[in-house]
């Protein structure tokens, strides 16, 4: 997959498993050196199409209201749009001073919002998708782990506001997968059964199916086990 930019240059789109492309940028919280400044932490780098637009405003108010929850889960937030710093500052001030939406008011956005008027960062991350818009970033979400590796990418079109429960669910699911060496099934939430790795041989699979104690096998390739919410909390709070 490639990402075409202005002068006919082609740059590869970052993919799951790639190191997060590095950049330095000016933000509403000062300069950042990405992803170095976020070493040892998860980070969600997300783009929005434009300041002073309604869907983006609803998203920023939601992200800011949930920032503490993401931080508690060891994840920092960084936003970006193809707007300048003064536009960002004016928009965030308007949100704080004037907008009351769905019970959220006086909302202060404390995480950095990158100014990217040159589109340098947006292009590096494949956030400008010309079929949708060549002047605005789509709603991209990059989940980057503490080693600076891209672990998940979600793109939404301009008209579609993101589901923040899903962003949080995906973050926790990846952390649980790492910690417990398991995978998570469709619609998994903490406390639901998780998927244990497929047995490496028929013998192991048969033994597993014959001795189903804590493991439940639907067939040789599909086994689950329980991990309680408490064990997940304990596991994620220990390094």
Positions that interact with ligand BEZ (CB under 6 A) = 49-50, 53-56, 136, 158-159
Q: How far is the CB of 109 from ligand BEZ (least distance, A)?
A: 15
Residue whose CB is less far from ligand BEZ, 28 or 71:
28
Structure tokens at 175: 């952390």
Does residue 56 have an active-site annotation? yes
70 CB neighbour count, 10 Å cutoff: 20
Q: How far is the CB of 4 from ligand BEZ (least distance, A)?
A: 21
Cis peptide upstream of residue 35 (ω within 30 degrees of 0): yes
Q: How far is the CB of 158 from ligand BEZ (least distance, A)?
A: 4
Residue whose CB is less far from ligand BEZ, 49 or 126:
49
- Residue 160: half-sphere exposure toward Cβ, Cα within 13 Å: 12
- 76 strand-pairing partners: 43
Angle formed at CA 124 by CA 52 and CA 56, multiple of 5 degrees: 20
Residue whose CB is less far from ligand BEZ, 150 or 167:
167
Structure tokens at 136: 């605005």
Q: How far is the CB of 59 from ligand BEZ (least distance, A)?
A: 8
Residue whose CB is less far from ligand BEZ, 25 or 50:
50
Structure tokens at 176: 């649980």
Q: How far is the CB of 51 from ligand BEZ (least distance, A)?
A: 9
Residue whose CB is less far from ligand BEZ, 25 or 158:
158
Q: Name the 3-class secondary structure at 228.
A: coil
- Residue 136: half-sphere exposure toward Cβ, Cα within 13 Å: 15
Residues 27-34: contacts with CB under 8 Å, at least 24 apart: 27/78, 27/85, 27/112, 27/113, 27/114, 27/115, 28/85, 28/88, 28/89, 28/92, 28/109, 28/112, 28/113, 29/110, 29/111, 29/112, 29/113, 30/112, 32/78, 32/112, 32/114, 34/78
State the catalytic residues. 56
């Amino acid at each position: 997959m490639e990402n075409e930019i202005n002068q006919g240059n082609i740059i590869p789109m970052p993919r799951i498993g790639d190191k997060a492309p590095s950049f330095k940028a000016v933000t509403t919280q000062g300069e950042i050196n990405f992803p170095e400044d976020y070493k040892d932490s998860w980070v969600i780098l997300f783009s929005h199409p434009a300041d002073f637009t309604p869907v983006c405003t609803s998203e920023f108010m939601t992200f800011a209201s949930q920032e503490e929850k993401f931080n508690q889960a060891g994840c920092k937030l960084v936003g970006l749009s193809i707007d300048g710093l003064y536009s960002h500052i004016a928009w965030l001030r308007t949100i704080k001073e004037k907008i009351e939406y769905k019970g959220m008011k006086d909302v202060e956005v404390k995480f950095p919002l990158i100014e990217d008027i040159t589109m340098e960062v947006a292009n590096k991350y494949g956030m400008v998708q010309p079929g949708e818009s060549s002047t605005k970033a789509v709603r991209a979400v990059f989940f980057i782990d503490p080693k600076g590796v891209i672990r998940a990418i979600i793109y939404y079109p301009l008209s579609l506001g993101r589901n923040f429960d899903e962003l949080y669910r995906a973050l926790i699911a990846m952390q649980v997968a790492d910690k417990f060496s398991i995978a998570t099934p469709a619609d998994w939430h903490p406390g639901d059964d998780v998927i244990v790795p497929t047995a490496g041989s028929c013998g192991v699979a048969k033994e597993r199916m014959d001795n189903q104690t804590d493991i439940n096998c639907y067939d040789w390739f599909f086994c689950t086990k329980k991990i309680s919410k408490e064990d997940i909390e304990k596991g994620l709070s220990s390094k």
